[in-house]
């Protein structure tokens, strides 16, 4: 996101406490005069001096290992963090865009998922830490728009992947790639028939920028409507890596969504946005990124040996917006 905005001539202040991010991801920007990094927990403070034209609230742990390790912090960044970001946007007269999630649909009873669907979420289940934080964030954003006239927009992000992710991140794409490159078995939960729709990061960023530049309130789904089963994804990763790793099956976790695919008609109509990078091409780019970092991938083995949720570890056995 920072790369994209700076490339078009914007000045960017990036606030992050690096609880799940890495300073190396922005190292190439630190000498740019248009870029300022502020290390801060946005659930406690958002120390940005001067007026701003836009606020993009992306802060939150996003993978189950991280939000299970930081449950209260995840709830705080979705609630108080969202309020502080909205306050900054409101007092500056700035455009505000919230990065929400397909998780607000829970384990959907409607397929594919359109923005008018209210979802099927367990408010006290193991995924509720993240789900309900984002649902509250949407409610707060809508309240600021409705009652204070703040210029807000909400995007609901479906499964996103690409370079700069951590190999031990725990989400299914990174887990499969790291396991394949390490020659380890690929861990599949349930029978692998559950589906996801994977969107490459460059496409997602284009969608967020389009939302930022619009007056659309949303919510707007941003995701790739090409639906794949987890087993199909595993087979594709094995083909792209050339690995001969076996697939191991484990019981399906509680509240794991069985199907997930966005309806993107609204994004196409109001933002002129559709994903351009195929799953095969996006995965090939991501495999190349991890193949160039063999030490990181090898170090991820211990973390990936724990249990998973949604093809993702439910609890990160190692210590780590």
> From CA 251, how far away is CA 311, in angstroms rounded?
11
Task: Tell me the three state secondary structure of residue 12.
Answer: strand
Give the pair of three-digit tokens for residue 211. Answer: 């939302």
Q: In whole angstroms, what is the distance from residue 232 CA to residue 92 CA? A: 47
Give every CB contact of residue 262 below 8 A, 6+ residues apart in sequence. Answer: 102, 112, 113, 156, 158, 197, 221, 222, 223, 224, 225
Measure the CA–CA gap between 296 and 290, rounded to whole angstroms.
8
269 Cβ contact list (under 8 Å, min separation 6): none
Angle, CA 60 vertex, CA 33 and CA 228 arms, to 5°? 105
Active site residues: 130
> From CA 126, how far away is CA 139, in angstroms rounded?
21
Terminal CA-to-CA distance of the chain, rounded, Å?
12
Whole-number CA gyration radius for the chain: 19
Backbone angles phi, psi at 16, to 5 degrees: -160, 140
Residue 312 · residue 170 · CB < 8 Å: yes
């Amino acid at each position: 996101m920072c790369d994209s905005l700076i490339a078009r001539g914007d000045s960017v202040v990036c606030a992050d406490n690096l609880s799940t991010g890495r300073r190396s991801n922005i190292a190439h920007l630190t000498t740019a005069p248009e870029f300022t990094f502020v290390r801060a927990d946005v659930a406690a403070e958002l120390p940005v001096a001067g007026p701003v034209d836009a606020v993009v609230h992306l802060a939150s742990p996003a993978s189950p290992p991280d939000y299970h390790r930081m449950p209260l912090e995840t709830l705080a960044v979705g609630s108080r963090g969202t309020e502080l970001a909205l306050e900054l946007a409101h007092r500056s007269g700035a455009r505000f865009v919230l990065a929400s999630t397909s998780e607000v649909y829970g384990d959907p009873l409607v397929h594919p998922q359109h923005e008018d669907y209210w979802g099927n979420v367990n408010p006290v289940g193991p995924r509720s830490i993240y789900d309900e934080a984002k649902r509250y964030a949407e409610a707060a954003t809508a309240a600021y728009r409705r009652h204070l006239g703040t210029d807000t927009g909400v995007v609901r992000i479906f499964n996103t992947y690409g370079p700069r992710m951590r190999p031990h991140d725990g989400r299914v794409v990174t887990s499969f790639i790291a396991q394949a490159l390490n020659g380890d078995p690929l861990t599949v939960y349930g029978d692998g028939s559950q589906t996801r729709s994977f969107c490459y990061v460059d496409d997602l960023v284009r969608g967020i920028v389009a939302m930022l530049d619009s007056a659309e309130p949303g919510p707007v789904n941003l995701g790739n409507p090409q639906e794949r089963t987890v087993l199909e994804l595993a087979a594709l990763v094995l083909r792209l890596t050339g690995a001969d790793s076996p697939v191991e099956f484990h019981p399906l976790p509680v509240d794991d969504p069985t199907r997930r695919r966005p309806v993107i008609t609204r994004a196409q109509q109001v933002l002129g946005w559709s994903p351009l990078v195929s799953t095969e091409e996006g995965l090939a780019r991501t495999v190349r990124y991890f193949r160039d970092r063999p030490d990181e991938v090898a170090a991820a083995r211990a973390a990936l040996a724990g249990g998973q949720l949604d093809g993702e570890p439910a609890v990160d056995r190692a210590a780590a917006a």
